[in-house]
Amino acid sequence: MDCVYRNPNAPVEARVKDLLSRMTLKEKIGQMTQIERRVATPDAIKDLSIGSILSAGGSGPSESEKALSSDWANMVDGYQKSALESRLGIPLIYGIDAVHGNNSVYGATIFPHNVGLGATRDADLCRKIGEATALEVRASGIHYTFAPCVAVCRDPRWGRCYESYSEDTVIVRKMTSIVTGLQGQPPHEHPKGYPFVAGRNNVIACAKHFVGDGGTERGINEGDTLLPFEDLERIHMAPYLDCLSQGVSTVMASYSSWNGRRLHADRFLLTEILKEKLGFKGFVISDWEALDRLSEPRGSNYRSCISSAVNAGIDMVMVPLRFELFVEEMMSLAESGEITMARIDDAVERILRVKFVAGLFEFPYTDRSLLDKVGCELHRNLAREAVRKSLVLLKNGKDPKKPFLPLDRNARRILVAGTHADDLGYQCGGWTATWYGGSGRITIGTTILDAIKEAMGDETEVVYEQRPSTDTLAHHNFSFAIVAVGEEPYAETPGDNSELVIPFGGADIISTVAESVPTLVILISGRPLVLEPWLLEKIDALVAAWLPGSEGGGIADVVFGDHEFKGRLPVTWFKRVEQLPLHIGVNSYDPLFPLDFGLTSDKEKSLV
């Protein structure tokens, strides 16, 4: 072959060096540019040698939120065709936030969010979820997921609390096994920090958000983490070591700051620590419009923002919309020497290295044989297992000697109530179908009500009222009630919450039902919420179900006794919001339920 870079048998570094030597400055800058699909035209992709495209939450192949994996594959392959028609034929990396399954695609398996997986403490389960997610992502033509989030969440007021596995660094480190699930198992002698993607059934992973995003003051998203470097390293940076040892291919910088220094412009952390000290050889990507956030007002003095971020160590810029201006300013910065060719070449080498390692030059298009894996029974059963293992039993009976659970599936008549009992969107939470998530049948799955009806005996009457009337409660003689309440879906800054009360009058629904009927409460949330003592006293049993995803059957499996409760709290459950931040390691640790708490169904212990 004339071109070393086109030879699949040549060493990766030789291919990188050969291709880099053939590239113009404009093509190099194009490779450093990631754009949103809404602004991606065939001419722009081909003429600018655009390196990557992403779909933001809800940005799919059509206006419909019910586009299937095959529709996505057709769209991605169309963009890839344009990239391969460029002068050098460098394939695109297509990225998406597949953070709990391929959650943007209708019909994909939706797994519990990370906080629920942290409650399982099951690293092998997490790895298997990564494998299943990779298959479903590749079936849609996509090569790259912006996951996992390995933040250590120290304050539940943070709007991304559910994206963190735990407040405990040890637990977060354990759950980074999802990287191996997504990318494949690197060989034993694989050099630490070098990117690795096993094959066509794997995806490029992204450890995020480097670094300290879960430790900001008062849990403010994109806020400031005030810590000495030794604590930043010990608490927040440690999970990245595990990701690097598994060959994670990319790292995303955080919107947040460290002691007042914006992470996207912090050369010490991005270059001197991550790349030089830790030996990371993949590429560092910015977050969405993160460079715009480096100036006030946002988006002003864009040229200076680009210079600060790229010189700090950002390799690929998630522009994502005004890419013409980004390319123009980058060209000018390079020509003036404000960004050196050495820095640009380093960034492009890293991007090309990941593309070669991931096999994109050999297999740029979708493998359509994977389409039957999307939402398949095997994956849904895995998600159901994850739900079962994530459930944390916080209370079981008013009398320590008389546990309330498991429930009798042959009861004569039962009541199912609450805003979250029959709402698949609420059950899945944010980052499902759209960025913030939504309500109703936004994808294919089983609600809690569906699951209860399937689990009950043929002779049982199941009465469902979202907000039961006093007449219903007084005249139906229910054996017991199951009330599911919790948070509405949210993501990022709109999820920041300083009050943390149960929304939609959830406490009132619980109280009304529990006054009349023995009651199990299932709390659907991305974090601990306020549980007043009077409310806890009224109810008979309480389960923290987190954001379980599409397979509500996992909840019925446990509350009816087919499986044992195994989940343990991944975060401390506070008594009052005034205590926050409350986590392991603080001097005044006086929780409602401590980290690691979790009852089993038959455990004779009162919590109130």
pLDDT of residue 473: 94
pLDDT band at 602 (very low <50, low <70, confident <90, very high): low
Dist CA 187 CA 174 (whole Å): 19
Two structure tokens written together for 395: 């209370």
Dist CA 377 CA 366 (whole Å): 22
Q: Is the pLDDT of residue 120 over 50?
A: yes
If one counts every other C-beta atom within 10 angstroms of the C-beta of residue 458, the result is 5
Dist CA 60 CA 470 (whole Å): 45
pLDDT of residue 601: 67
Catalytic residue selected from 122, 242, 423, 492: 492
pLDDT band at 604 (very low <50, low <70, confident <90, very high): very low
pTM score? 0.96
- Considering the chain, what is the average pLDDT of its residues? 96
Q: Is the pLDDT of residue 1 over 60?
A: no
Across 82-99, average pLDDT: 98
Per-residue pLDDT of 241-293, as tens digits, reads 999 999 999 999 999 999 999 999 999 999 999 999 999 999 999 999 999 99
Which residues contact residue 523 at a Cβ distance below 8 angstroms, ignoring those fewer than 6 apart? 484, 485, 486, 502, 529, 542, 543, 544, 545
Can you tell me whether residue 516 is helix, strand or coil?
helix
Catalytic residue selected from 163, 167, 222, 287: 287
Per-residue pLDDT of 37-60, as tens digits, reads 999 999 999 999 999 999 998 899
In the chain, pLDDT over 90 holds for what percent of residues? 93
Question: In order of start, what are the domains of the chain with their CATH numbers?
Answer: 4-373 (3.20.20.300), 391-593 (3.40.50.1700)
- Residues 407-423: b if buried by 16+ CB within 10 A, e if exposed: bebebeebbbbbbbbbb
Per-residue pLDDT of 165-193, as tens digits, reads 999 999 999 999 999 999 999 999 999 99
DSSP state of 162: G
pLDDT band at 400 (very low <50, low <70, confident <90, very high): confident
pLDDT of residue 297: 86
Across 599-607, average pLDDT: 56
Dist CA 548 CA 157 (whole Å): 20
pLDDT of residue 63: 62
Across 151-160, average pLDDT: 98
> Which residue, among 413, 381, 373, 390, has the nearest Cα to 518 in the 3D structure?
413
Per-residue pLDDT of 535-573, as tens digits, reads 999 999 999 999 999 999 999 999 999 999 999 999 999
pLDDT band at 64 (very low <50, low <70, confident <90, very high): low
| CA distances to 67, 182, 447, 586 from 103, in Å | 12, 15, 16, 36
Q: Residue for token digits 């001419």? A: 43
Across 225-233, average pLDDT: 98
Which residues contact residue 97 at a Cβ distance below 8 angstroms, ignoring those fewer than 6 apart? 56, 57, 103, 104, 145, 146, 147, 431
- Residues 227-242: b if buried by 16+ CB within 10 A, e if exposed: beeeebbebbbbbbeb
Specify whether 492 is catalytic.
Answer: yes
Per-residue pLDDT of 190-212, as tens digits, reads 999 999 999 899 999 999 999 99
pLDDT of residue 370: 97
pLDDT of residue 31: 98
Per-residue pLDDT of 578-591, as tens digits, reads 999 999 888 889 99
Contact 351, 310 (CB under 8 A): no
Q: Residue for token digits 């959650």? A: 103
In the chain, the amino acid numbered 25 is L
> Which residue, among 530, 533, 507, 536, has the nearest Cα to 419 in the 3D structure?
507
Across 337-346, average pLDDT: 98
Per-residue pLDDT of 411-451, as tens digits, reads 999 999 999 999 999 999 999 999 999 999 999 999 999 99
